[in-house]
Structure 1
Amino acid sequence: MQQRFIPRVLGPLAVCAALLGAASAVLPAWSKPSPDADRKTLTRERDSLKGQISDIRRDINRKEARLDAINTDLRKSEQAISRSSRTLKELSEQKKGVENQLSDLRREAAIVGEHVKDAEGTVALISRAQYMNTLRHPWQTVLMGGNPNDISRMTGMLRYMAREQDRTIDRLENRQKNIAEVTRKTNAKRTELAKIEKAEQDNRRQLEREKKSRETALADLKKALDSQRARYEQLVKNDRELSNLIAGIDKRIAEAAKKEAARQLALKKEAEKRRREQKATARTEPPAIASPSLNFRSLRGKLLMPTRGTVAARFGQKRAGAAASLPWRGLLIRAKPGQSVVATAPGTVVFSDWMRGFGNLLILDHGSNYLSVYANNESLYKSVGDKVRQGETIASVGSSGGEDEPGLYFELRYKGKPFDPSRWLAR
C-alpha cells in the first residue's frame, strides 16, 4: 500500500518544494516510504514558511502605514500649491489694477498739466492787457469819443480776472501735487506687490520641489509594496498548498483504507471550488443610468468642455491593468498643467477640497439633482457656496491625487449616478 501511496504524494510535494526553493532538502526525505517522517519534514517547512509570511506581513503593514503618511504629506503639498496658485492669481490681478491706476494717474496728470499751461497763458494775456490799459489816459478816451470811466472799469475787470486765474492755477497745482503723491504711493504699492509675488513664487517653487520628492518616495514605496505583496501572495499560496498536502498525508495515514473515498471527496471539493471561482468572476450587469431631469434637458448639447485638451478615456471605456473591471465613469482629458478649468454650466460650489484618489476636487451643483465633478486639479479657485457662471474659471489643470500625467477628470451625475457627458457637451 505504501508503494502505491508514494507516487501520489510526491507530485504535489515536488511542486511546493520548488516554490519554496528547497527541493533539494525535501525530496530526499521521500526516498524511504515513511509518511510520519515526511509529515515532520513538511511540518517544519510549513512552520518556517509561516514565519516568513508573518515577517513579510509585518513589513507590509509598516510600509502601508508609511504610504498613508506620505499620502497625507502629498495632500498637504497639493493643498498648499493650490493656495499658492490662488494667491499668485490674486496678486496678478492686484498688479493689473495698480498698473491701470498708474495709467489713469499719468493721463490725469497730463490733462492737468495742459490746463495749467492754458491758465498760465490766460494770465499772461491778462497781464499784457493790464499793462496796455495803464498806458491809456482819460483824455485819449475823450478824444476818441469814449467814456473816461471805462478805463477804471476795465482795470477792475482785468484785476478780477487775474485773481480768478491765479486761484485756478493754485487749484490745478494742488491737484498736480495730489496726483504726484498718489502716484508715489501707487508706485510703492506696485514695488511691494512685486516683492510679495517674488516671495510667493519662490515659495511655490519650494512646494513643487517638496511635492516632487514626495511623489518620488510614493512611487518607490508603491513599487516596493507591489513586489512585496506579490511575494506575500505567493508565500500564502505556497503555505495553503503545503498545509493541504500535510492534511492529505494525515488523512492517508489515518484512513488508509478509505483513500478512494478521500480522493472522491477531494475531487468534489475541487469542483465546488471551480464553481465558486466561476461564480465570483461572472460579470455583473452595469448600473442603469437615471433619466435626466426635464429642468436640465434644455442644456443637452449646450454644456461647455471644461478644458482644452485630448480625451484620453471616455465614459464606459475599460481601464488598463488590474482595474480593467472598473470602467471609466467620465472623461479623462489630458491638458497642459496650469491651464484653465471652466464651469460646464452655471451652478454652486458644493465641494472644494483635497480627496484621496481625486486630488484637488471641485463639485458643482446645477440643480434638479445634477452635479458636475472636476478632479486632479492643480489649484482650486472657488470655495464652497460660491456661485459660478457658465464658462467661468474655477480651477487649473494639474496631476494631484497621484496622477502620472497632468489632466482633468470630468464627470456628470444625476441623483449620484454617473452618465455619459459626451452627448451633453456642445460640439
Structure 2
Amino acid sequence: MMHAKIKELLSNAQRRLVGSIAVICLQFALVFVASAAPQTAEKEADLKAVRARIDSIRQSLHAEAGRRDALSNQLKNAELDIQSKRQSLAEIRSERRASERQLTELRVEQQKTEQQIAAERQQLAATVRVAYINGRAEQLKLLLNQQDPAQLGRMLTYYGYFGRARADRIASIGDRLAHLELLTERIAAEAERLKQMEAIQVERVGSLAQARQERSRQLAAIQAGLKSRGDQLKRLEREAAGLERLIAELRRAITDFPALAPQAFQKVQGKLPWPVTGKLLARFGSPRSGGPLKWEGILIGAAPGTQVRAPFHGRVIYADWLNGLGLLVVLDHGGGYLSLYGHNEELYRKVGDVVSPGDPLGALAERAAGDQSALYLEIRRGKQPL
C-alpha cells in the first residue's frame, strides 16, 4: 500500500523531455533517502524556481500588455487617419466631378458660340456682297444721271453702318469665345490637378490600410502570445501548487519508508559489468543524431528480449513508461548515485524493490524498423551525468 502511494505521488511529478531525466530521477530518489532535510530542500528549491518563473512570466505579460495597448492606440489612430483621408478623397472626387460637369457645359457653350460666329460671319459676308453690288449699280446710275447723288450717299452710309455693326458683333462674340477658351483651359487644368490629387489620396489611403493591416496582424500575434503565456502561467501555478502538496507528502512519507543501507557505489564505479552483453552503439558525450545535443549515457546494442540485470545493489525508485525512453527502471544506489535503464519491453520490478547485482530488472524491447534494439544506460550523481 505504501509503495502504491509513493508511486502515485511520483507519477504526478514526471517530466516530458528526455534531457531532464536526471531531475525526475532525483525527485523520485528523494522519497527513499534517510534524511528529510535534503529531500524537502530540493523540492523547495524547485518550488522557488517555479515561483521565479511565474514572476518572470507575469512581468513579461505586463510588458506585452503595454505593447498591446500601444498598438491598439496606434491602430485607433490609423483608423481615424484613414477615415479622414477617405473623407478628403470623397471631397476631391466631388470637386473633380463638378469641374468635369462645368467643363462639359463650357465646351457645349464654346461650340454654340463658334457656330454663332460662323453664322454672323456668313451674314456679314452677304451684307458686304449686297452693299458692293448695290453700290456699283447706284454709282452707274449716278454716272448716267439716273440717280440722285444724295440718295446714293445715304445708301452707302447705311451699308457702312450695317457692316460695322455686324463686324462689332463678330468682334464681341470673338472676345466671348476667347474668354470661353481661357476659362475652359483653366477648368481643364483644375480637373487635371484634382485628378492627380485623387491619385495621391488613393495611394495614401492604400498605404494607411496596409499599415493598419500590419498593426492588426501584430496585435493578433501579441494577443495570441498573451494567451499562450497566460496558459503557461496557469500551468506553472498549478505546478507550484502541486509541488507544495508534494513537499508536504514527502515530509510525511519519508518518515514511514525504511532507509537504504549505504553501499560503496563510488568505489566500484567504472568497474561494474554492463546490464546486457552487447555492442556499444553510442558513447557518453557523443553528439545525438548529428545535432547539438549530446548523449548523457550510453547505448548498448542487444537482441530484443535480452534480460537487463542490475550491476550493483540498489532500490527501485521508478518503474514506468517515460517519453523518449519507453519502459524505464531507475535504481537508487545511495549517496546520491542513480542508474537508469531505458527501452524495455517488460519490467520485472516495482517501486521500492531492493535488488542485488545480477538481479533481472526487465527485458529489452524491439525497436522501430531500421533501429537496432539497444539498452539506454545512464549513471547520475544528483543532477550530474557520469
Instruction: Give the TM-score, by structure 2 length.
Output: 0.55
Measure how far apart 1:215 and its partner are: 2.9
In structure 1, how many angstroms separate the alpha carbons of the residues matched to 2:170 and 2:77? 61
Which residue in 2 is equivalent to 1:168? 169
* 1:15–1:158 distance in 2 versus 1, CA, 3 Å: same
Equivalent runs, 1:20-419 vs 2, <5 Å = 22-32=23-33, 37-137=38-138, 151-246=152-247
Which residue in 1 is equivalent to 2:288? none
Partner-residue secondary structure (3-state), 1:131: helix
Q: Residues 17 and 26 of structure 1 are in contact (CA less than 8 Å); yes or no, is this contact kept in structure 2?
A: no
In structure 2, how many angstroms separate the alpha carbons of the residues matched to 1:64 and 1:19? 30
Which of residues 15, 21, 30 in structure 1 aligns to 2:12?
15
Measure how far apart 1:63 and its partner are: 1.5
Measure how far apart 1:12 and its partner are: 4.1
In structure 1, how many angstroms separate the alpha carbons of the residues matched to 2:31 and 2:210? 60
In structure 1, how many angstroms separate the alpha carbons of the residues matched to 2:39 and 2:56? 26
Read off the aligned partner of 2:174 and give its amino acid letter. E
Mark the structure with the bigger radius of gyration. 2
In structure 1, how many angstroms separate the alpha carbons of the residues matched to 2:171 and 2:139? 35
Read off the aligned partner of 1:170 and give its amino acid letter. A
* 1:186–1:30 distance in 2 versus 1, CA, 3 Å: same
In structure 2, how many angstroms separate the alpha carbons of the residues matched to 1:138 and 1:80? 84
* 1:53–1:146 distance in 2 versus 1, CA, 3 Å: same
Q: Residues 10 and 30 of structure 1 are in contact (CA less than 8 Å); yes or no, is this contact kept in structure 2?
A: no
In structure 2, how many angstroms separate the alpha carbons of the residues matched to 1:180 and 1:213? 49
In structure 2, how many angstroms separate the alpha carbons of the residues matched to 1:133 and 1:123? 15
Q: Residues 110 and 180 of structure 2 are in contact (CA less than 8 Å); yes or no, is this contact kept in structure 1?
A: yes
In structure 2, how many angstroms separate the alpha carbons of the residues matched to 1:55 and 1:102? 69
Read off the aligned partner of 1:94 and give its amino acid letter. E
Read off the aligned partner of 1:101 and give its amino acid letter. Q
Read off the aligned partner of 1:159 and give its amino acid letter. G
Q: Residues 123 and 165 of structure 1 are in contact (CA less than 8 Å); yes or no, is this contact kept in structure 2?
A: yes
* 1:197–1:23 distance in 2 versus 1, CA, 3 Å: same
In structure 2, how many angstroms separate the alpha carbons of the residues matched to 1:19 and 1:167? 105
Instruction: Give the TM-score, by structure 1 length.
Output: 0.51
In structure 2, how many angstroms separate the alpha carbons of the residues matched to 1:54 and 1:108? 80
Read off the aligned partner of 1:15 and give its amino acid letter. N
- Which stretch of the first structure deviates more once superposed, 237-246 or 178-187? 237-246
Provide the identity percentage: 19
What is the RMSD computed on CA atoms of the aligned residues?
3.4
Q: Residues 57 and 232 of structure 1 are in contact (CA less than 8 Å); yes or no, is this contact kept in structure 2?
A: yes
Measure how far apart 1:52 and its partner are: 0.9
Flag structure 2 segments of 5+ consecutive residues without an equivalent: 257-386
Deviations 1:371-426 (Å, cap 9, x if unpaired)? Answer: xxxxxxxxxxxxxxxxxxxxxxxxxxxxxxxxxxxxxxxxxxxxxxxxxxxxxxxx
In structure 1, how many angstroms separate the alpha carbons of the residues matched to 2:140 and 2:195? 73
* 1:137–1:157 distance in 2 versus 1, CA, 3 Å: closer
Partner-residue secondary structure (3-state), 2:137: coil
Deviations 1:138-162 (Å, cap 9, x if unpaired)? Answer: 9959x9x999876455444433322
Measure how far apart 1:81 and its partner are: 2.2
Measure how far apart 1:108 and its partner are: 0.8
In structure 2, how many angstroms separate the alpha carbons of the residues matched to 1:160 and 1:247? 128
Read off the aligned partner of 2:81 and give its amino acid letter. A
In structure 2, how many angstroms separate the alpha carbons of the residues matched to 1:120 and 1:177? 16
In structure 1, how many angstroms separate the alpha carbons of the residues matched to 2:126 and 2:236? 108
Q: Residues 139 and 148 of structure 1 are in contact (CA less than 8 Å); yes or no, is this contact kept in structure 2?
A: no
Q: Residues 103 and 187 of structure 2 are in contact (CA less than 8 Å); yes or no, is this contact kept in structure 1?
A: yes
Measure how far apart 1:28 and its partner are: 0.9
Read off the aligned partner of 1:58 and give its amino acid letter. Q
Which residue in 2 is equivalent to 1:423? none
